[in-house]
């Protein structure tokens, strides 16, 4: 042992100021140590003129730790009577009373480690460890101090009730093991339990020591990850001043959360219960840890139903066959430690040995424990007793392996502490009642908890009803199983209490954290157009796919409404009707012209070009129909090319007629033979040539980048506008530009011929028709660019129909008027202007 260890030992030796003697003891080949708090508190004796610290006087007998000590004795007795476990080797024990003091606990552990019961200033306290392992202590703080002191000796300390997560640190506490699960698991299990019940806004109380602070720190961390907020987290210790306690009371009274998570030691909760009764704090839903949730003493104290409906985690129920009968038979304790036995007997039966007072019954020694009912006879903490039992058996199984025991152990010599500790960490066995026992790499057992609910009972004040199970060996949500219907909540309610800072946000909204408040306090903001949230309490809204849009409730995406100019809607029907009427009118005019093809007015207006013009006008009317209906790949290519070619054919015919007019009057000049250069063959060739140029432009357009159907998702976000993308803008504007160029040329030539003499001249009608044509298409460009959705197509159809009707009416209606209504003007003389008007 190093000098540092010797110094530490000397310091501990003087902590109490008087020798440390075992309260219960028995010799054996190998000794197992124990440290239990047979008394829960102490008082300091007053000594006059003493240079040593005054000794402690232990008071307030603790029945629970007597039960723990008896469980240890029961396990050792079973092992000594066993023919299969440690045959031929007897186990003894030395059990010390820590008196509820951490310092005394360290002194007792050092006495077990080095065999010095008596302390002195002189000499080092170093010799071979007298015990093989130590069972105890109950509290985490005591275990931390003890294991730090005996850790350098590699002497194992096996606790049955110390749950602080910090003790799993094998660097700081290399020789510590336990048979109760770590708060690492309990804190997570509590957080999962709170989340399971839908509580996101809770308060918390914790014991202000290593157990409470460490456990609550882990709970807070896990709770935050699960979206649970703590309105307050307050420390409490039973020695707090009245002012501190009042501040805690006021904080709880002013809180809005209705759930309190109590990470408290049972004696701290006892003090708090009295304070809660004084200030009438009731109606809260409590969530408890294994430290108090199944404690019958706490339950019996709750006369004002402060903890009614509490739920929490408890060590799973278990039984140790024969243990109850052993504990209730206390007389064998007399041989193990008469002084402590007498004190226990007096406390159990409220009597006194050698009593001089007339007010107290004298103990006869024949009292029967079956006649009394108190904490000592209460077996509700049997799972904790089982933890002590398993700790002793773990030591026995490790010894069994190390001592080479089969039919008989090869040696009775106490093993080296380091070697024994390694074997102890690897033990794996089943108890006689079938419970599996082993330690993980941190010296902890597998975490399993019963979910306990405090329910009113006729026989007792409360009944601890098991309503669920938590098993950390499972994965994810399978770890926790709760029977919700069997739970009775605070205020004797069957409905799960609500404890939230803000009400749940319904689907269609998202949570927006309120400024300066925890994340559980939020406002519910409706999702914007095109976004949804299909779950409650959504943090973000999800944008719908580009082909979908949010419904009115903003909780689902629906197909966007598709918009295009269809035959079913009024505008489509109207434009279709106008187009068909135009085509029918053109056919009617063609029939009239064919009927009167031999009349002067038809002959004089170049009947061949007139019929070709009527044919092209009818195609112009019909090509507008390709713009109506759902766009497809073929309809997109057809509508623009058909429109471009038919209009060029139409304008080419008009241009031919205009040139014929000009050439006809040029031919009347003396010596002019210009008509031979622009006769019918040349006219046909010119129309064909002009049209072929447009055909070539369209072929290039369709080859390089043709029009295609396109979903316009940007113009109107809640709709899909189905339209034809022109593909190559150059191709589109080249087709329109060529039509415009021919129209301007035709207008210019017709304008020049407008004042030529005689009724034969139709240039003025062509001029007016071209004026209408150009006006329509010049107006079309800005209207086309600025029109939304299907109206873009409607504008284009309107431009086609308006310009086509303009050509039809301006060029052919005047002639039909003469043919049908003024037939006397349909004569050669009238046409030549030889008849007075």
Note the pLDDT tens digit of each residue in 507-562.
Answer: 999 989 888 888 889 999 999 998 999 898 888 999 998 889 999 999 999 998 88
pLDDT value at 7 more than 50: no
Selected residue with higher pLDDT from 469 and 457? 469
Neighbour tally for 18: CB within 10 Å: 15
How far is Cα 570 from Cα 573, in angstroms, rounded to an integer?
Answer: 5
Let me know if domain 183-314+447-492 sits in CATH 3.40.50.2300. Answer: yes
Residue partners of 441: CB distance under 8 A and separation at least 6: 170
Strands, sheet with 229-236, edge to edge from the N-terminal-most edge strand: 229-236, 201-207, 259-263, 285-288, 311-314, 448-456, 462-471, 480-482
Q: According to the model, what pLDDT value does residue 337 have?
A: 67
Q: Is the dihedral of CA 295, 299, 302, 306 positive or negative?
A: positive
Q: According to the model, what pLDDT value does residue 216 have?
A: 93
Secondary structure of residue 628 in the 3-state scheme: coil
CA 155 to chain centre: 46
How far is Cα 510 from Cα 517, in angstroms, rounded to an integer?
Answer: 17
Selected residue with higher pLDDT from 788 and 151? 151
How far is Cα 163 from Cα 215, in angstroms, rounded to an integer?
Answer: 9
Confidence of residue 249 (pLDDT cuts 50, 70, 90): very high
Domain range annotation of the chain:
3-181+384-438, 183-314+447-492, 509-559, 570-758
Average pLDDT over residues 97-109: 89
Confidence of residue 466 (pLDDT cuts 50, 70, 90): very high
How far is Cα 447 from Cα 775, in angstroms, rounded to an integer?
Answer: 88
Average pLDDT over residues 294-309: 89
The answer to whether the CB of 77 falls within 8 A of the CB of 90 is no
Selected residue with higher pLDDT from 357 and 262? 262
How far is Cα 293 from Cα 92, in angstroms, rounded to an integer?
Answer: 34
Bridge partners for 30 per DSSP: 91
Residue partners of 418: CB distance under 8 A and separation at least 6: 154
Class of domain 3-181+384-438: alpha beta
Are both 3-181+384-438 and 570-758 of the same fold? no
Q: According to the model, what pLDDT value does residue 454 have?
A: 94
Class of domain 570-758: mainly alpha
Secondary structure of residue 314 in the 3-state scheme: strand
pLDDT value at 116 more than 80: no
């Amino acid at each position: 042992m190093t000098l540092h260890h010797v110094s530490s030992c000397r310091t501990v030796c003087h902590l109490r100021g008087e020798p440390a003697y075992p309260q219960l003891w028995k010799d054996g080949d190998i000794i197992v140590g124990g440290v239990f708090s047979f008394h829960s508190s102490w008082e300091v004796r007053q000594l006059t003129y003493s240079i040593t610290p005054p000794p402690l006087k232990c008071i307030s007998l603790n029945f629970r730790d007597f039960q723990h000590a008896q469980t240890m004795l029961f396990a050792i007795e079973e092992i000594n009577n066993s023919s299969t476990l440690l045959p031929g080797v007897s186990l003894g024990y030395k059990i010390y009373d820590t008196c509820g003091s951490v310092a005394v606990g360290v002194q007792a552990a050092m006495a077990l480690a080095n065999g010095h019961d008596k302390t002195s200033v002189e000499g080092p306290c170093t010799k071979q460890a007298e015990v093989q392992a130590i069972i105890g202590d109950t509290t985490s703080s005591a275990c931390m101090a003890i294991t730090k002191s005996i850790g350098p000796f590699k002497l194992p300390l096996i606790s049955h009730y110390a749950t602080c997560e910090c003790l799993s640190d094998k660097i700081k506490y290399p020789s510590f093991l336990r048979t109760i699960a770590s708060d690492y698991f309990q804190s997570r299990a509590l957080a999962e339990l709170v989340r399971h019940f839908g509580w996101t806004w809770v308060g918390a109380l914790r014991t202000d020591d290593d157990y409470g602070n460490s456990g609550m720190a882990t709970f807070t961390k896990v709770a935050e990850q699960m979206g649970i907020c703590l309105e307050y987290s307050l420390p409490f210790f039973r020695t707090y001043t009245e002012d501190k306690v009042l501040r805690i009371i006021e904080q709880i009274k002013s809180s809005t959360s209705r759930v309190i998570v109590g990470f408290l030691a049972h004696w701290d909760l006892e003090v708090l219960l009295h304070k809660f009764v004084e200030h009438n704090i009731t109606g809260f839903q409590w969530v408890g840890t294994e430290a108090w949730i199944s404690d019958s003493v706490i339950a019996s104290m709750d006369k004002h139903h402060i903890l009614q409906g509490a739920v929490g985690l408890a060590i799973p129920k278990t039984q140790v066959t024969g243990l109850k009968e052993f504990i209730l038979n206390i007389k064998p304790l007399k041989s193990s430690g008469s002084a402590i036995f007498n004190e226990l007997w007096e406390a159990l039966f409220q009597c006194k040995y050698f009593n001089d007072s007339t007010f107290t019954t004298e103990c006869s020694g024949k009292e029967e424990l079956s006649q009394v009912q108190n904490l000592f006879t209460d077996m509700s903490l049997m799972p904790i007793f089982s933890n002590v039992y398993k700790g002793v058996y773990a030591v026995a199984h490790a010894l069994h392996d190390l001592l080479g025991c089969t039919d008989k152990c090869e040696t009775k010599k106490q093993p080296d502490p380091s070697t024994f500790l390694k074997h102890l960490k690897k033990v794996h066995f089943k108890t006689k009642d079938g419970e599996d026992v082993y330690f993980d790499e941190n010296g902890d057992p597998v975490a399993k908890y019963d979910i306990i609910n405090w329910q009113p009972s006729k026989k007792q004040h409360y009944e601890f009803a098991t309503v669920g199970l938590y098993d950390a060996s499972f994965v994810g949500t399978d770890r926790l199983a709760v029977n919700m219907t069997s739970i009775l909540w605070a205020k004797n309610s069957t409905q799960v209490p609500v404890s939230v800072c803000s009400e749940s946000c319904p689907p269609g909204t998202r949570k927006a954290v309120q400024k300066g408040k925890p994340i559980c306090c939020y406002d519910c903001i409706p999702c914007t157009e095109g976004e949804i949230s299909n779950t409650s309490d959504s943090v973000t809204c999800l944008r719908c796919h580009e082909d979908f849009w949010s419904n009115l409730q903003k909780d689902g995406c629906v197909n966007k409404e598709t918009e295009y100019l269809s035959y079913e809607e009024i505008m489509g029907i109207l434009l279709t009707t106008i187009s068909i009427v135009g085509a029918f009118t053109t056919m009617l005019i063609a029939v009239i012209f064919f009927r009167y093809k031999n009349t002067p007015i038809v002959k004089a207006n170049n009947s061949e070009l007139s019929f070709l013009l009527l044919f092209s006008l009818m195609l112009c009317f019909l090509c507008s129909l390709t713009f109506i209906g759902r766009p497809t790949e073929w309809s997109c290519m057809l509508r623009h090319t058909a429109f471009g070619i038919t209009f060029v054919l139409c304008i080419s015919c008009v241009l031919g007629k205009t040139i014929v007019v000009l050439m006809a009057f040029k031919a009347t000049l003396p010596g002019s033979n210009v008509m031979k250069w622009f006769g019918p063959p040349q006219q046909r060739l010119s129309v064909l040539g002009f049209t072929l140029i447009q055909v070539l432009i369209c072929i290039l357009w369709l080859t390089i980048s043709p029009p295609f159907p396109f979903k316009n998702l940007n113009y109107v976000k809640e709709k899909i506008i189905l339209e034809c993308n022109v593909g190559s803008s150059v191709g589109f504007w080249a087709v329109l530009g060529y039509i415009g160029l021919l129209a301007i040329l035709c207008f210019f030539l017709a304008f020049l011929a407008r004042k030529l003499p005689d009724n034969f001249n139709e240039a003025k009608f062509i001029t007016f028709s071209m004026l209408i044509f150009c006006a329509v298409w010049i107006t079309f460009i800005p209207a086309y660019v600025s029109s939304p959705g299907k109206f873009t197509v409607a504008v284009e159809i309107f431009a086609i129909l308006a310009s086509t009707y303009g050509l039809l009416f301006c060029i052919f209606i005047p002639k039909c008027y003469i043919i049908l209504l003024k037939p006397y003007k349909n004569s050669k003389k009238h046409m030549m202007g030889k008849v007075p008007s």
